[in-house]
Structure 1
Amino acid sequence: MTKFSAMLLATTALLCAAPAFAQDAAPAPESGYGGDIVVTAERREGTLQKTPISVTAMDATALKDLQINRTADLQRFTPSLNVAQGTVDPTTLTVFMRGAGQNAGTWVGYESAVGLYIDDLYFASLTGANLDLADLERIEVLRGPQGTLYGRNTLTGAIKYVTKKPGDKPFGDFEAEYGSYDMKRLKGTVSTPLSDNWSVLVSGNYYERDGYFNAPALGKDDYGFAKEYGARAALKYIGAGPFGLSASAFYSRAKNDGSIGLATNATTLAPAASNPYTYLSPVDGYGDAETYGGDLTLSYDIGGATLKSITGVIHTTEAFLADTSAGRPTNTVDGPYALGFDRLESEAARTEITQELQILGDTMDDKLHYIGGVYYFREKGHQGRTDYLLGLYDLLPQMVSMKTESYAAYGQLTYDFTPSLSVVAGLRYTHEEKSVLGRQQNNLTTVLANRTYGAIDATRTAKAWTPKFGINWQATDDVLVYASVSRGFQAGGFNYLALANPTNYENGFDPQTVWAYELGVKTQFLNRKARLNLALYRNDFSDIQTNVVIAGSALTQNAGTARVQGVEGEFSYTPLKGFTLFATGAYGDDKYIKIDPASSAATSGAQHLPNVPHWQGAAGFSGRFPSSHGDLLMGADYSYQGGKYLSGNNAPITYMPSYELVNAHVGWAPPGIDNLEARFSVSNLLKERYYVYGNVLGAYGLRSPGEPRTWKISLSYSY
């Protein structure tokens, strides 16, 4: 495929839409691709088109139509969002948005610049965050700093998973799938009232799939096995009165063969095999991530205002074994095969506790809307790792424990000068302290007697004021214009991936901040059958954190000041009930303004920030066409991801070339049976070969390919 295919698809979409102007007026989109989806981006309910923030919202219908099964799939349709699986564990996320993110989420102590939330519960760990999506009502992706209203580390945005809630009426959803590589997926949710005052919900999911890699050194042609399962239970008070209560508990576990790639020459970029789905290492890797926790939200209406208490706890454990450069042939490409750079094994655990007290309400004849609160976060964790480098250096086991405490107070006011004009002012104060204690081998040596430990004992503190100012103008019922200035903050930390160098480990990196400027417009037209949302933004970063590799150590450095700016757009059009055309797009421009001459980005002559492609885009359609023989379901989508570097020093092997994907589905809903559907879906229809990850350690490199073409058959029912 080429860029010509994008132009062809866009032209086809316009031609398909043209005759619809002569049709009877369709109702405004109610769900799926925008329209009047209810979102909680401002910590209170509001419709998407009336919310003055850049938000991509997808409900359960859109998630199914677009084949978004995991968090990493969101980047295909969300402007300025870049998501990929982690380096050594496919359940770990690498998330970047509008110029900032984190590549090393596998390690305790590292946190994302894009906050992850399950309802109102902050999810600090990137491990376990790329699991199979189940039991969701919708996903909201908030772009721009969200530090005033949300918790920690929303430097450039947040991803919010909104789960289904128990209600006063019974409902259920069930889905079964079978597909390529013996894939099996089961999902189910049941909710029912227990009485006039209480309702309960229970859900569960199971996923299993063989791998699509050939592993000659292991004698396997289906390497890359993955299995995931989980459950969730929720309880809600549905009775009358000022009191409110909702609680939930969840569990998930994922087992797999670890992240897998193809050994690639770091200098010439020549792959060690012609087929990208080839794993040459003799190391039989594994990954095992377990996550469980719960939350409790209490509320009380005091008349004109609501008091809330939000309490949560999450525990995550992870163990993995990986060859970090995917092995290498020792003589010829036909083997035998040996370890690459590093045989890396690790086990870790972390527990987070959060507590938030909040008040929100309206006063002054409903002209002043306010929200304020205090927030506390505490996390403790530990991690052990062993490394066997180059078949020579058998390092002493590294053991560390970490602790993070964060306190914050926040408030935001929105004042309506007129029914159509309002101003926003918000402020958050954050104080954080991080500490680490442990030991690590001092140097590289093959002599057993010379292997000695060095102590790791360090503390870092940080504090920040993060204000927000905005103005919102509801020009007409169908046009909202907004402008905002806000500051984002993310604390520094320690270099958990420093190799045999306790000093580098302790030195760590400083906080990063951003001043963000945004001008946006949200519109509805053609009798509200269509919507077009546009946003112009500019992010000015100070002490921007970048991930680099130096002498085998993967470090985070502060590279200096940088600017990222761009434009984003989202469009949907429903000419006929049940038929929607949609498109999204983003252009981003990145530039170092003043680079730290001591940083790896400067010494390597880097010109680009990590994970900022110039172009991203998607387009497609989804339709439901009724007939006497049942409803025909049909949809297709195209997505384009521009080329980007993954590392701060712009190492050539970390450049991921652009790629294009086409997905499609067709289905049938039989007559006489409400809410029963059968579908046949295909991902990567045109068998695009592309890479999603690349890294270099010393003279050894690897690249990990994206998924090949896959198909699945699904059967779903709801009531």
Structure 2
Amino acid sequence: MRKSYRFGLLASCILPFAAHAQEAPQPQDSGIGSDIVVTAERREGTLQTTPISVSALGETALQQLQINRTADLMRVVPSLVVASGTVDPTTLTIFMRGAGQNGGTWLGFESAVGLYVDDTYFSRLTGANLDLADLERVEVLRGPQGTLYGRNTLVGAIKYVTKKPSDTAFGDFLGEYGSDNLVRVKGTVSQPLSDNWAALVTGNYFHRDGFFNAEALGDKKYGDRDEYGGRAAIKYIGDGPFGVYLTGFFSHSENAGTIGVAVNPTTLQNARDDIYTYLSPTRGFGKNFTYGGDLTLSWKGENVELKSITAYLRGHQEFVNDLTGGRPGNSAENGYLIGFNELTSDSKYRTFSQEFQAIGDAMDGKLSYIGGLYYFRESGWQMRQDYVLYTYDTLPQMVYPTTKSYAAYGQLTYKITDAIDLVGGLRYTKEDKNVSGVTQASLTDIRLVPVGGKLKAKAWTPKAGINVRASDDVFLYASASRGFQGGGFNYLALAAPLAFNTSFDPETVWAYEVGAKLSFWDKKGHLNLAAYRNDFSDILTSMTVPTGSSLTQNAGEARVQGIEWEANIRPIPELTLFASGAYSHGKYTAINPNSDPAKAGAKYIPNVAKWQYDVGFNANIPSGSMGTFLIGGDVSYISPRYLGGTNAPMTLLDKRHVVNAFVGWQPEGSRLEVKLSAENLLKEEYYVYGNVIGGAYAMRSPGDPQTFRLSVKYSY
């Protein structure tokens, strides 16, 4: 019955394609190689004249590169390291240029890379690794974005730009079927409602059977994933200076949690040769539900635009997970045992934000400015309960965190000449964090004791830069900026009130960058280069201590620097070649001798890969009345890097090469497209997570296996 339902859902998405297949095609973005419009500086500009390191992928490029969810961005964006979370594959761990956060599942932890949908900030990385549905493009901004974007953009931001209603009707639909009974359906429809209003509705559904052999559970297809969601938007499109844009969305996911194979922490050998083997008798479970909306009101004058951006979000997450993947028992009678810790959690949160913004020009266009006020509030609760060493069933730990943040910011760009700009910006941020709750006194002392505290922080985050338009094909820039991320408490301390109450200080960075954006061969080729240096103070690192607690500490001062490149060339209209990559180097410059990284003799900054690259091509081959044949592929590489701050051998992820490819066909004169794609074509076995806790228990979580998809797409 389930399979019949999925095939029916797929067919219902494909049938409208056939009915309209002979409609005349309309223009789309040209994919990789196009100089698309971006809003990285909170106003529209072209990619090649935006004076920051930004990767921009339009809808066509996302499809060509098989970027289906946020974690896939790591393959193609320089200096970006993204992985699924430790207990839930829809929760992200994001690092960029040397900083990030490993505890995205916990309300007390915040990412160093800001996550935005249009102009709305998402404070939680929980549920962020969902299917990408109705995107116009993705922008990944590298370097501190504190002046214009604010909260927790210490080293960068990821911005999803959604499709907007317009005065012209449009729609697109996609249906896919693939390996392990993969079903993916999504669609977007936009329609004018009158001369003054237009509306948009989008929906998406994803299912995939599991590909793990759960020996203890007798399930050879363990690890199902189900996701669905939708968004609706209405926009005022009439004449006049006023604008109204209102959206609402929801997303829902259910899965078996992050699944991994048990590992011997001393020999680092897997308990089973097959990396897709799960040994625990614990049936993992993960569930996320997020919903919310935002309202943007605007007014345009002759040289100024005023905006009000109001957003409200709510989320609910539950999960059960064996953090070490289980292990065989000591005898046949014992069967299989959970590992060091079976973890259960239930949490809810809500956020509210309000931003007032002014964008404009003055002095006959010589001066451009943007300024604003920002308020953010988050509150919630989280319950945690642990079953440790299949002996200690802890009492439920409850925490109630609240965060308030206030900011004022401004940035000016002044044209000294037609070719040279000076940039200056400044943001002031004030944050108050409070947490209260209870936790068990210790593993053997079965009492609930109070925990909590208060933190206050203030920060100035300036930016200064210069832009030079040397010619129509050469754009140069240099900048210095400061980034800030607030401190917090160690919410992951297991039955350890003292560790919980031990706070960590804010992390800051001074970042220096020079870059060049070059066009050549009559705009058929582009080469963007950037060299950066990040000097961190009170850099945050995460580690798991022998008691099982995962703690965050300020490890001291560190320097991460590197070179990044993105290039593409279209030698003929039918062929695009592209490459991107980064060389990075990180080291501690003044490590805190009392920190665990210092005690462990750690030498490497977590999640800094020395080399990253992606190389590929896309080709459209016209064939007269038979239509156009499509072919493309890319190979991505990332060198070894440590996940943990103490550089424990178990947290070292090996290098990996992943090859993706596709072939497709577009009938002559239609908007129908049929494609066969392959992810991880060469069956590379690699890991996205690894950890050791309790001294004798360890687990690695593998990346997805080889996956084939057959898709049908139609747009109008």
TM-score by length of 2: 0.95
Instruction: Give the secondary structure class of the aligned counterpart of 1:647.
Output: coil
Tell me the residue number matched to 2:8. none
Is 1:575 equivalent to 2:571 in the alignment? yes
2:458 corresponds to: 463
Taking the aligned partners of 1:430 and 1:201, their CA distance within structure 2 comes to 35
Indicate if the aligned counterparts of 1:183 and 1:210 stay in contact, CA closer than 8 A: yes
Aligned pairs for 1:9-28 (under 5 A) are: none
What corresponds to 2:255 in structure 1? Answer: 256
Pick closer, same or farther for the CA change 1:286–1:30 going to 2, 3 Å.
closer
Distance in 1 (alpha carbons) for counterparts of 2:330 and 2:679:
37
Partner of residue 525, structure 2: 530
Query: What's the counterpart of residue 655 of structure 2?
Result: 658
Whether 1:504 aligns to 2:503 is no
**Partner residue in 2 for 1:563:** 559
Partner Cα separation in structure 1 for residue 335 and residue 180 of structure 2: 27
Cα distance in structure 2, aligned partners of 1:460 and 1:331: 47
| Counterpart mapping for 1:132-143 below 5 A | 132-143=131-142
Match of 2:711 among 701, 711, 714: 714
User: 1:235-268, CA deviations, whole angstroms, 9 ceiling, x for partnerless residues?
Assistant: 1111111101111000000000111000001121
The residue number in structure 1 matching 2:617 is 621
Does residue 593 in structure 1 map to residue 589 in structure 2? yes
In the alignment, the residues of structure 2 paired with residue 686 and residue 270 of structure 1 have an alpha-carbon distance, to the nearest angstrom, of 23
Measure the CA separation in 2 of the matches of 1:531 and 1:119: 26
* Map of 1:46 onto structure 2: 45
Check conservation: 2:346, 2:383, Cα contact below 8 A: yes
Give the residue type in structure 2 aligned to 1:137: E
Partner of residue 635, structure 1: 632
- The 3 A distance-change label for structure 1 pair 157 and 332 is farther
**Cα distance per residue 1:68-126 (max 9 Å; x no partner):** 11100000000000000000011100000000000000001211000000000000001
How far residue 335 of structure 1 moved from its aligned partner, in angstroms, is 7.9
- Contact 1:122/1:151 (8 A) holds in 2: no
The equivalent of 2:308 in structure 1 is 309
Separation in 2, partners of 1:483, 1:30? 30
Work out the CA distance in 2 between the residues paired with 1:105 and 1:676: 39
* Aligned partner of residue 466 in structure 2, secondary structure: strand
Query: How many correspondences in the alignment?
Result: 686
Alignment of 1:190-205 (within 5 A): 190-205=189-204
Letter in 2 for 1:359: A
1:433 and 1:578 map into 2 onto residues whose CA distance is 55
Q: 1:173 to 1:533 in 2, by over 3 A?
A: same
Q: Which digits, 9 at most, give the CA deviation of each residue in 1:34-56, with x for residues without a partner?
A: 43100000000000001011000
C-alpha spacing 1:651/1:345, structure 2 compared with 1 (3 Å) = same
Work out the CA distance in 2 between the residues paired with 1:295 and 1:68.
26
Residue type of the alignment partner of 1:560: G
* Contact 1:141–1:158 (Cα < 8 Å) also in 2: yes
**CA contact 2:29–2:59 (8 Å) conserved in 1:** no
In the TM superposition, 1:419-498 aligns within 5 A as 419-445=418-444, 450-498=445-493
C-alpha contact (below 8 Å) 1:148/1:428 kept by paired residues: yes
Matches within 5 A, 1:158-177: 158-177=157-176
The CA RMSD measured in Å over matched residues stands at 1.1
Amino acid at match of 1:496: Y
Residues 218-229 of structure 1: pairs in structure 2 closer than 5 A:
218-229=217-228
1:115–1:154 Cα contact (<8 Å) kept = yes
Contact 2:71-2:92 at 8 Å conserved across structures: yes
Aligned residue in 2 for 1:230: 229
Q: Distance in 1 between the 2:525 and 2:224 partners?
A: 43
Going from structure 1 to structure 2, the CA distance change for 1:84 and 1:109 (only over 3 Å counts) comes to same
Question: Is 2:682 aligned against 1:649?
Answer: no
How far 1:333 moved relative to its partner? 10
| Closer, same or farther: CA 631–489 of 1 in aligned 2, 3 Å | same
Higher alpha-carbon deviation: 450-459 or 314-323: 450-459
Letter in structure 2 aligned against 1:525: F
Q: Retained in 1: the 8 A contact 2:212–2:277?
A: yes
How much has 1:331 moved relative to structure 2? 3.3
In 2: Cα distance, 1:406 partner to 1:503 partner: 27
1:366–1:332 Cα change, 3 Å: farther
Q: Which runs of 5+ in 2 are unaligned?
A: 1-27
Which amino acid in 2 is paired with 1:703?
R
| Greater shift in the superposed pair: 570-579 or 198-207 | 570-579
In structure 1, the residue matched to 2:4 is none
Q: Runs of 5+ in structure 1 lacking a partner?
A: 1-28
In structure 2, what is the Cα distance between the partners aligned to 1:333 and 1:431?
59
Cross-structure match for 2:210: 211
Structure 1 segments (4+ residues) deviating >4 Å: 332-335
Deviation at 1:302, TM superposition (A): 2.8
Distance 2:306 2:609 in 1: 43
Secondary structure, counterpart of 1:331 in structure 2? coil
Q: What is residue 266 of structure 1 aligned with on the other side?
A: 265
Equivalents in 1 of 2:536, 2:266: separation in Å?
A: 31
Among all aligned residue pairs of Structure 1 and Structure 2, give the percentage whose two residues are the same amino acid.
60
Q: CA deviation digits over 1:542-598, x for unaligned, max 9? A: 000001111311011000000000000000001122321000010000000000001
**What's the TM-score once normalised by structure 1's chain length?**
0.94
Q: Structure 2: how far apart are the matches of 1:578 and 1:181?
A: 34
Equivalent of 1:700 in 697, 700, 708: 697
CA distance in 2, matches of 1:578, 1:92: 38
What amino acid sits opposite 2:689 in the alignment? Y
How many Å separate the matches in 2 of 1:570 and 1:93? 24
1:381 aligns with 2:380: yes
Would the aligned equivalents of 1:167 and 1:199 in 2 still touch at CA under 8 Å?
yes
Deviation of the 1:444 alpha carbon? 1.2
How far 1:454 sits from its partner (Å)?
1.4
* Letter matched to residue 636 of structure 1: G
**Deviates most, 326-335 or 600-609:** 326-335
- Aligned residue in 2 for 1:61: 60
d(CA) in 2 for partners of 1:508 and 1:642? 33
Q: Is the 8 A contact 1:622 1:634 kept in 2?
A: yes
Deviation at 1:330, TM superposition (A): 1.5
User: What one-letter code is carried by the residue in structure 2 that aligns with 1:460?
Assistant: L
Q: What letter is aligned with 2:478?
A: A
1:355 & 1:689 partners in 2: Cα distance? Answer: 45
- How much has 1:63 moved relative to structure 2? 0.7
> Secondary structure at the residue paired with 2:488?
coil
Match for residue 549 of structure 1 among 524, 541, 544:
544
The Cα of 1:681 is off from its aligned counterpart by 0.4
Q: What one-letter code is carried by the residue in structure 1 that aligns with 2:51?
A: P
Instruction: Give the distance between the partners of 2:292 and 2:381, measured in 1 at CA.
Output: 18
Q: What do the CA deviations read for 1:325-377 (whole angstroms, capped 9, x no partner)?
A: 01011137998210101111000011010100000100001000000000000
Q: In 2, are the aligned partners of 1:30 and 1:36 still within 8 Å (CA)? A: no
Counterpart of 1:23? none
Aligned residues of 2:251 and 2:290 also touching (Cα < 8 A): yes
Q: Which secondary structure state, in structure 2, belongs to the residue aligned with residue 64 of structure 1? A: helix
Q: Deviations over 1:450-499 (max 9, x none)?
A: 41111012000101000000000000001000000000000000111011
**In the alignment, which residue of structure 2 is the partner of 1:184?**
183
CA displacement, residues 407-453 of structure 1 (integer Å, 9 cap, x when unaligned):
000000000011110000000000001110100001111xxxx4111
What is the CA–CA distance in structure 1 between the aligned matches of 2:491 and 2:221, rounded to whole Å?
33
CA distance in 1 between counterparts of 2:425 and 2:210 reads: 49
Secondary structure at the counterpart of residue 504 of structure 1: helix
Q: Is the 8 A contact 2:33 2:570 kept in 1?
A: no
Alpha-carbon distance in 2 for matches of 1:312, 1:60? 25
